[in-house]
C-alpha cells in the first residue's frame, strides 16, 4: 500500500516521538540511578567528584627508601590516608579499619585489590624506619610514605588534606579538663601537636582523585563505598 505524503509525515512524526520518548525514559532512569547511587554513597560517608581531579607530579619516599611518584598510582586503585606514627587514637583506629577492609576486599572475587598508602604528616619525627615499622603493624602490603614538609604538602593539598603543628599551650587543654576529641589532633610531644584531616582519598588507576570517604572510617562502609565507586 502506497502512503500519501501526509501519511508519511505523520508516520515520521510518530517515529520521532517514540524515539524522543525512549531517550527521555532512558535519561530519566539513568538520572534516577545516579541519584540513588549518590544517596547510597552519602549514607556510607563517601563523596564522589563528578569530574575527577587529575594529580600533578610530586616526589616522596616509601618505607624502603624508593621514590614514590605520580606514576606509582597508575594502573591500580589506591586508598590514601594521612597521619603520623605517634598519634594515639584516630590514626591507629583508621589504619586498623583500613587493614580489615583491605583483607575483606582481597577476598571478594572480581574486585580489584587497592593499594593502601599511608602518608606521614610529621616529617620531623617520622623517619623512614619509623614509618616502615608503623605500616607493617597493620599490613605488610601497605605502603608508607615520608618526605619533607614541602613534598608532603604537594600531595596533601591535591587530596584536600591540610596539616599543621599547633603549640601545646595554644590548645589550653587545662580549661577543658579532658583531652581534645578533634579528629586528627593529638599530642605528640611536650611542645606541639599535629592537626590534620582524617578522610581517606580514593585515587583511580589514571592517577585522579575520584572520591573522599569521610571519618569516622569503618571497615564495612569502606568496603561498600569502594565497591560502588569502582564499579560505576
Q: Could you tell me if 29 and 51 lie in one domain?
A: no
3-state SS, residue 20: helix
For residue 103, the enclosing domain spans: 47-230
Q: How many CB atoms lie within 10 A of CB 154?
A: 17
CA 151, chain centre distance (Å): 19
Q: Could you tell me if 89 and 37 lie in one domain?
A: no
Q: Could you tell me if 58 and 171 lie in one domain?
A: yes
Q: Could you tell me if 25 and 117 lie in one domain?
A: no
Q: Could you tell me if 97 and 175 lie in one domain?
A: yes
Quote the pLDDT of residue 1. 53
pLDDT in tens, the chain (232 residues): 554 555 544 544 444 544 444 444 344 344 445 556 667 888 999 999 989 999 999 999 999 999 999 999 999 999 999 999 988 889 999 999 999 999 999 999 999 999 999 999 999 999 999 999 999 999 999 999 999 999 999 999 999 999 998 876 555 544 443 333 344 444 444 467 789 999 999 999 999 999 999 999 999 999 999 999 998 7
pTM: 0.78
Quote the pLDDT of residue 20. 47
H helices within the chain, ranges in order?
Answer: 5-43, 90-106, 128-138, 149-158, 168-171, 173-176, 219-230
Q: Could you tell me if 102 and 153 lie in one domain?
A: yes
Dist CA 129 CA 54 (whole Å) = 31
Q: Could you tell me if 139 and 30 lie in one domain?
A: no
Q: Could you tell me if 141 and 210 lie in one domain?
A: yes
3-state SS, residue 195: strand
Quote the pLDDT of residue 170. 56
Quote the pLDDT of residue 19. 47
Q: Could you tell me if 53 and 37 lie in one domain?
A: no
Q: Could you tell me if 68 and 181 lie in one domain?
A: yes
Q: Could you tell me if 18 and 82 lie in one domain?
A: no
Query: How many distinct structural domains can be found in the chain?
Result: 2
Q: State the CATH number of the domain containing residue 133.
A: 3.40.30.10
Q: Could you tell me if 132 and 63 lie in one domain?
A: yes
Quote the pLDDT of residue 41. 84
Quote the pLDDT of residue 66. 97
Q: How many CB atoms lie within 10 A of CB 212?
A: 20
Quote the pLDDT of residue 37. 67
Quote the pLDDT of residue 88. 84
Phi, psi of 149 (to 5 degrees): -60, -40
Amino acid at each position: 500500500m502506497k502512503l500519501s505524503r501526509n501519511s508519511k509525515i505523520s508516520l515520521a512524526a510518530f517515529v520521532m516521538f517514540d524515539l524522543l520518548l525512549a531517550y527521555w525514559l532512558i535519561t530519566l532512569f539513568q538520572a534516577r540511578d545516579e541519584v540513588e547511587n549518590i544517596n547510597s554513597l552519602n549514607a556510607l560517608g563517601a563523596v564522589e567528584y563528578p569530574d575527577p581531579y587529575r594529580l600533578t607530579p610530586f616526589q616522596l619516599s616509601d618505607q624502603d627508601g624508593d621514590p614514590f611518584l605520580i606514576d606509582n598510582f597508575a594502573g591500580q586503585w589506591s586508598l590514601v590516608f594521612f597521619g603520623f606514627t605517634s598519634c594515639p587514637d584516630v590514626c591507629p583506629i583508621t589504619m586498623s579499619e583500613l587493614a580489615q577492609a583491605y583483607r575483606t576486599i582481597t577476598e571478594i572475587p572480581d574486585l580489584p585489590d587497592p593499594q593502601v598508602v599511608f602518608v606521614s604528616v610529621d616529617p620531623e619525627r617520622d623517619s623512614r624506619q619509623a614509618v616502615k615499622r608503623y605500616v607493617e603493624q597493620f599490613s605488610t602490603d601497605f605502603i608508607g610514605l615520608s618526605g619533607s614538609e614541602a613534598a608532603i604538602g604537594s600531595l596533601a593539598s591535591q587530596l584536600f588534606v591540610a596539616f599543621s603543628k599547633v603549640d601545646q599551650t595554644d590548645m589550653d587543654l587545662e580549661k577543658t579538663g579532658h583531652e581534645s576529641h578533634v579528629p586528627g589532633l593529638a599530642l605528640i610531644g611536650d611542645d606541639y601537636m599535629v592537626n590534620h584531616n582524617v578522610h581517606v582519598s580514593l585515587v583511580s588507576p589514571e592517577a585522579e582523585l575520584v572520591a573522599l570517604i569521610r571519618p569516622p572510617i569503618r571497615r564495612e562502609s569502606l568496603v561498600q563505598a569502594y565497591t560502588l565507586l569502582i564499579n560505576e
